[in-house]
A and B are shown apart, each in its own frame.
Chain A
Amino acid sequence: MQKITLNVYRFDPDLDQEPYWKSYELPGREGVTVLEVLFEVLEHHDGSLAFRYSCREAICGACAMYINGSHRLACKTQVSHLGRVLWVSPLPHMRVIKDLVVDMDPFFEKYKLIKPYLLSNSKPPEKERYQSPDERRYIDEMISCILCGSCYSSCPSVWTGEHYLGPAALMWAYRFTADGRDEGDAERLNLTAQEGGLWRCHTIFNCTEACPKNINLTHSIQQLKKKAAARVLGGK
């Protein structure tokens, strides 16, 4: 099989003045993924290359990177789909800690802010808080989110809005308000429908384009806007 040329973004703040691209010529193999190519470098060329990964099956969200001009999960990206030349860099617009590892703290702080769990103030019923199969199906798409940060990295409102919640947090806020078992609508809308929050979304669709799980985040955020508007117009 043909050789692969990997160009990878390298930056160690302790040693390097500036980031730089480093090229590696690596053996190709049928079915090889970008993550495996990075392992190849780690094991045979340069043990200092830093990147995050865990599950290797697109369910943990750790290996989101910027690969050949798109946000992708390294573990589920087939090299053969991209040609023989790879350009791999950390999630754009995020602070680089080392090489492909970025600072995810702001992302998770904002996620926590919207209270990503079921809220209730009523007494629990005898058996369970019921959710019908239809209600469950409605949130299927949203709960496939693995919090990889691709949408957050792609959003122009995040780039300039230091406190802007970002696509993932807003999508999760809607995911809970759309859940029949949740009673936190008022609380979550108050948290999100602020000048610095929901209204900084300008339906740019970068988040939807970036999502490696093909979630239409814009759709969820638009629904949340409608909910907020309906609430205010309804006099609540």
Chain B
Amino acid sequence: MNGMKGVWAWLGQRVSGVVLVFLLGIHLWVLHFVDPGAGVVFQGVAIRLRSVFFIVVDLALLAFSLYHGLNGLRTVILDYSISEKAARKLTWVLTAVGVAAFVYGALGLMAFLSV
């Protein structure tokens, strides 16, 4: 018996979901509601990312949405009675995908800081 392990994935999904309401709320509000006609341009993003607040919000949004999304994908796949061994492999693959996507996405954001 591997002692109630599933609790963490379940709790993590709830906590990250609630955190995402705020992060995604800020993100969508700033990009689509404050000045809907402006469109997204490099300068605008670069200016925003000069504030520590937005760097933190954007990086947190990246991390939390990747965790929540891939953990959710794992939930969906686990529903199809895969073996315990396959489930362990799946967890590793999704973790690797998540970490790689976070690093790549964070580097992508840093490109806006170079000006």
Q: Which residues of A contact B (CB under 8 A)?
A: 157, 160-164, 189-191, 193-200, 225, 228-229, 231-233
Report Cα–Cα, A225/B1, bound state, in Å.
17
Report Cα–Cα, A163/B10, bound state, in Å.
19
Contact of B81 among A190, A196, A233 (CB under 8 A): A196
Contact of A194 among B4, B8, B81 (CB under 8 A): B4
B79–A228 contact, CB under 8 A?
A: no
Q: How many residues of B contact A (CB 8 A)?
A: 17
B10–A194 contact, CB under 8 A?
A: no
Known A-B contacts A160-B79, A160-B80, A195-B78; A190 and B10 likewise in contact (beta carbons under 8 Å): no
Could you say which residues of chain B place their CB within 8 Å of the CB of A190? 1, 3-4
Q: Bits for B53-86, please: 1 = Cβ < 8 Å to A, else 0.
A: 0000000000000000000000000111100100
Q: Which residues of B contact A (CB under 8 A)?
A: 1-11, 78-81, 84, 87
B6–A194 contact, CB under 8 A?
A: yes
A198–B6 contact, CB under 8 A?
A: yes
List, sorted by A's number, 14 A–B pairs whose CB atoms are closer than 8 Å: A157-B79, A161-B80, A164-B81, A189-B4, A190-B4, A191-B1, A193-B4, A193-B6, A194-B2, A195-B78, A195-B84, A195-B87, A228-B7, A232-B4
Could you say which residues of chain A place their CB within 8 Å of the CB of B1? 190-191, 194
Known A-B contacts A199-B9, A225-B10, A229-B10; A162 and B4 likewise in contact (beta carbons under 8 Å): no
